[in-house]
Amino acid sequence: MHDERRRIEERVERVHNQRIKPAIYSATVPFEVEAWHAPGEPVSFEEAAAARYTPFAMDTPWGPPWGTTWFRMRGRVPAEWAGRRVEAVIDLGFVGDWPGNQAEALVHLPDGRPLKAVNPLNQYVPIGNPVSGGEEIDYLVEAASNPDILANDFAAPTPLGDVLTAGDKPLYTFQRADIAVLDEEVWHLDLDLQVLRELMVHLGEHEPRRHEIMHALDRAMDVLDLDDISGSATAVREALAPVLARPAHASAHTISGVGHAHIDSAWLWPIRETKRKTSRTFSNVTSLADEYDDFIFACSQAQQYEWVRDNYPHVWARIQESVKKGQWAPVGGMWVEADGNLPGGEAIARQLIHGKRFFIEHFGVETKGVWLPDSFGYTAAYPQLAKLAGNDWFLTQKISWNQTNKFPHHTFWWEGIDGTRIFTHFPPVDTYNARFSGEEMDRAVRNYSEKGGGSRSLAPFGWGDGGGGPTREIMERARRLADLEGSPKVVVEHPDDFFAKAREEYPDAPVWVGELYLELHRATYTSQARTKQGNRRSEHRLREAELWATTAALHAPGYSYPYEKLDRLWKTVLLHQFHDILPGSSIAWVHREAETEYARVAEELEALTAEAVAALGADGTRVFNTSPFDRAEVVRTPEGAPAYIDVPASGSAPLTGAEPAQPVQVEGLVLDNGLVRVEVAQDGTLASVRDLRAGREVLADKGNLLRLHTDLPNYWDAWDIDKHYRNRYTDLLDADAVTVVEEDALLGAIRVTRSFGKGSKLTQTITLRAGSPRIDFETEIDWHEAEKILKAGFPVDIRAPHSSAEIQFGHIQRPTHTNTSWEAARFEVSGHRWVHIAEPGYGVAVINDSTYGHDVSRTVREDGGTTTRVSLSLVRAPRVPDPEADQGKHRFTYSLLPGATIEDAVAEGYALNLPLRVADAAGAPEPVVSVAGDGVTVEAVKLADDQSGDVVVRLYESRGGRASGVLRTGFPLAGARVTDLLERPLEDADVTGDGGVAVALRPFQVLTLRLQRAEGS
């Protein structure tokens, strides 16, 4: 047989694109259109309906960046169309085919009910199937003119990312607003051809099935009457029916399709726009559910449901009905799809608590899995926290973006730092926006790593990132691919059903231990430093407010625990942990608003904490310690003088002062407190840090060396830091001034000022306090660099085989060598409050109060010793998508802690992030709880969410070994239960004979206790 592939494939392509697609709508009449341009921010439907509209013609430019235009569309269905399927077709001037980052609209009926959204790949609104003819159509269409921030492929900065800089030039030109007849046979023929053509080109040239399809398509084109597409469509479909009816092979891979619409809660648009995106997407989804009984849609992020509930009650009611029918599946059980590395342990717990509780309360559904496809790596604390919240499975996708190593599994057991395992799936289709294309189906099968062990995978389908969701065309593709030779089988089903089947067929799936590190987007640990600092401060302020509010509720008559305020503030912080806000990868508008929100949260939490402390009375000045560790520390009195105070964990002490074992001595540029001796060089670096207790020099070279690197990644500026950043840098060794600024028996301080780069200025105050080996670097930067990253390095004279970095409820060890490509790829990693390096018998910690990114490297010196360098990433200067990212002033502190054990690092990490509070208060109520037992650490103290008055305490083992101890309460205890994260009892706790609670923890175990107060307490 002659090879006619080229002729046939080109023939089919041309006829399909140029003749069949244009015939899908067989007749049209235009709407009469009027417009009203809303000033400023979006307005309510009621305000828009009452506005004065003016005539609007097609091909007219409209829509300034971030603007809203309301269109009134009126028309009549022609009487002769009776019995036909009729739709409205609206093209706002769409650019490309991505629905999330351009013009979008929501169509309303005159009474205000949202009907359906329109976007590039979903331009229709149903009118009738069939129509009677003569129907009057009247729509009000809310159209958003969002700019395309992705234009030019992120190649250059754009001012469009903030309404303050975007200008007012119209972005779009309205193309079409018609009432149209959908020719269903032609529409179905179009879909038949799409599926067969794509299947054909992705089959191997040696496959008989490819040639069978090709010749069937050629014969079908012979049947098609090019002058009467509509009249011949049925015959063409009949000619193609045999090749569409050939069943899949018995061993064919099975893909579980789950409807999905990834909606970033903010990214290339502000939060206010996401609120509208949810209404548009969810209107589309519920409309599609009406058309397809077999459709199932999985949707996460309780926050987005709440926005719809509060702003779009009609859409909310449709969602509730779809959930009842089993077509809408709440999943994920988190408040938002948060970043997977940066939120603190208690914050991830609250993400799960608030998310799961929302779905239980509003839908009667308890979600069973964590749905987190698009985050930039995942902490090894997740398996335990997910299981403690009642989850059975975990889904992610983003690890497919690895820059160096291919992740070896798609279905596996993920084991966390405490040993908890959760059944995990990583879809081989390599997208969470699948559309069942031939390329995707081929990729899913080729990629699937579990061949021979498992036979199924999951594919979230529907347009996403900026919403949009599944379309009827995608559902039709799924139906055609349900059992088709040459393709994997596609079944649309609930993700719970997929996970149950996958686990049943593959119970001995392989195990991955530790973090799921993404070998890409490593700069998200550092970008937008003020956003990250706002999150860190908010997490610790929330802890502080809850502890002292609980103390006041127990001991201050008349004080009322602020349940609703704390709930609202927690949800604000959780929202801003979304995986494009906290990582610093959003437009300028998002981060500008985030800073404002964090400032408001700080103000409210400060007021709540002050109110709780004041409720304890005002009879003298006391010092309050929110940390779970006893502290002997230097504080400032209200008059500004230093005082040395000994304060119990989670308790308070009078501001009376104590005497440290040895005062601080300042001699020239040397600070000495009898524990460590710090010598500052004339260039402002540390020339020496001598641990006087151990009798050893800590540094192998200049310490606190500030290094300014060129930082231009290959792509994704705000997201990425590529390895070549290391190759070009400037050490900041020119100090403007190095001066002693404080000389007291309780503390000594040396200030270093520098000017560098493009007008940047940096001031560091190096402080050593009595009684502590911790050296603080209080830092102020006025940053004006572009495409740079600033790091602070500590080359330590330690031969450390690994570093330990704090993560949620524990820490993770990472090798300092680069023996394999997996280790070499971890050239920038994340940690929370501390990084620790050690050799047997001696360790050093580097502690911070707001940064996350760091690197640890090692070299062997000529003298045979090993230098292990810890470098903190302080601030970056990416220009895309926010051209002014990180510009301006920053204030933060990091510290060097010589002679530190892991336990020391944990305690000092809490101390730096939870400064002692000095306030007027009367009396000294006992701490709400106290723990006797090394390694047992209290993370949260609060009243139970059900407002029963029970006290909830969350503990964890913090050293990485077994721990036991006794928890005692500062109130009469009537009983104690172990609970899940949602504070639901699991079992009785072990209450000792003297009223304590015995605690025994495995390494890094998290334990939640619910403590019942005795009557009258």
Residue 914, token pair as written in the block: 């939870």
500: left (phi > 0), else alpha (psi -120 to 50), else beta? alpha
DSSP 340: S
∠ CA(474), CA(479), CA(485), 5° rounding?
A: 115
CA distance 94 to 101: 10
| Whether 964 contacts 1000, CB under 8 Å | yes
Partners of 32 in the β-ladder: 74
DSSP codes of every residue in 943-963: E-TTSS--EEEEEEE-SSS-E
Kindly state the helix (H) or strand (E) to which residue 998 belongs, with its residue range: strand 997-1001
Tokens 């559910």 belong to 289
| Whether 386 contacts 370, CB under 8 Å | yes
Catalytic annotation present for 218: no
Centre a 10 Å sphere on the Cβ of residue 392 and count the other Cβ atoms it contains: 16
Name, in order, each residue with C-beta under 8 angstroms of 748's C-beta and a sequence gap of 6 or more. Answer: 664, 665, 666, 671, 673, 740, 742, 767, 768
Counting beta carbons within 10 angstroms of the beta carbon of residue 564, is it exposed (0 to 12), middle (13 to 18) or buried (19 or more)?
A: exposed
Residues making up the chain, counted from first to last: 1017
Strand, helix or coil at 167?
A: coil
Among residues 49, 213, 21, 200, the alpha carbon closest in space to that of 138 is found at 49
Give the ranges where 326-400 is alpha helix by DSSP (H). 345-363, 382-388
Strands (E), 11-53: 25-30, 32-38
Q: List Cα–Cα distances, 167 to 148, 155, 156, 159, 656, in angstroms.
A: 14, 20, 17, 8, 59
Residue 1013, token pair as written in the block: 């107060």
Tell me which amino acid residue 244 is. Answer: L
Counting beta carbons within 10 angstroms of the beta carbon of residue 1015, is it exposed (0 to 12), middle (13 to 18) or buried (19 or more)?
A: exposed
CA distance 434 to 478: 11
CA distance 632 to 911: 10
The sign of the torsion formed by the CA atoms of 189, 192, 197, 198 equals positive
The three state secondary structure string of 431-444 is CCCECCCHHHHHHH
∠ CA(261), CA(266), CA(268), 5° rounding?
A: 95
The sign of the torsion formed by the CA atoms of 438, 440, 443, 449 equals negative
Tell me which amino acid residue 660 is. Answer: P
∠ CA(281), CA(287), CA(291), 5° rounding?
A: 135
Q: List Cα–Cα distances, 459 to 260, 440, 568, in angstroms.
A: 9, 9, 35
Q: 214-242 burial, b for 16+ CB within 10 Å, e for fewer? A: bebbeebbeebeeeebeebbeebbebbee
Strands (E), 600-723: 621-624, 631-636, 642-647, 652-654, 665-667, 670-672, 676-680, 686-691, 696-697, 705-710
Active-site residue among 178, 374, 442, 904? 374
- Number of H helices and E strands in the chain, helices first, is 18, 56
| Whether 813 contacts 877, CB under 8 Å | no
Catalytic site residues?
374
